[in-house]
Amino acid sequence: MAEKLQAIRIEPTHWVDWSAWLGAAQGEVQSRYPQARRWVYEPLPDMAERSRQQWQAAHAAPWWKPWHKAQAPVFSQWPVPDAAWPAEGAGLLWANMTLHGALDLPGLFKAWHRMLGVGGFVMCSGLGPDTGRELRALYQAMGWGLPTIDFIDMHDLGDAMAKAGFADPVMDMEHLTLTWPDAETLLAECRTWGGNVAAGRHAGWRTPRWRARMLQALHEHLRRPDGRLGLTLEVVYGHAIKPEPRAAVAAETRVSMDDMRRMVRKAPPRP
């Protein structure tokens, strides 16, 4: 996703690193916009603390590191702190690999829209519907139910962003295949990807006997010709801009003073 920034001419002075700990994109975005102020928002307090420690460790690195002299970011959780938040909003909201962890995507997009300034842009990514198709087929064959949520399709992602008020959404996707030497290594890495918000998951603890059965099933059903276990990942990407505000046509329309000022400044001259 960082490669897509090279084609964007907008130069934000503030950018939001949404769910930064799991997104792991500080170096790429910071090197592209070295003068921009970074705002870190995490879904959980312990993740905010991990991000803070990660930045402190990087800041203590040798002087030749590109982010050594970067301004300290603001670490917080939603809602935005009114006292410190820039009045014009952020120029970029960066949310890498976060879409599949949101229980309320429409609400999340509306929150992102509020955080951005006019002309700012959002770049986001997450897992698509082909992710883990081998694992879902295995669970279905074993009668265990679905192990994951229904991941968002890139077309639905574009529709949701447009409904939240974003303009010119651009969608993209790619398929990746990850492999592991054994089932234990596969499960260990999957746990580092974040929580599973699937509502239909098994409610209680599984037994050691069930776990042994699952490991055996993974070895049998996910084994590739080279002997390694493989899973398909579909990664979807979204990019959109926050446009100039427009007053809705209605019998009564309420417009904030800030939006009114922007519309007046953008109004065409009278003939």
The pLDDT tens digits for 136-186 are 899 889 988 778 888 889 999 999 999 999 999 999 999 999 999 999 999
- What confidence tens digit (pLDDT) does each residue in 49-97 have? 777 777 777 766 565 655 555 567 777 776 666 557 888 899 999 999 8
Higher-confidence position of 232 and 261: 232
Domain ranges of the chain: 12-177+231-266
| CB contact at 8 A, 13 and 37 | yes
CA-nearest of 130, 215, 204, 211 to 180 is 215
Does the predicted model carry a pTM greater than 0.85? no
CATH 3.40.50.10800 assigned to domain 12-177+231-266? The reply is no
CA-nearest of 224, 236, 232 to 182 is 224
- What confidence tens digit (pLDDT) does each residue in 206-235 have? 899 999 999 999 999 999 999 999 999 999
Does the pLDDT at position 271 exceed 90?
Answer: no
Average pLDDT, the chain: 83
pLDDT at position 2 is: 87
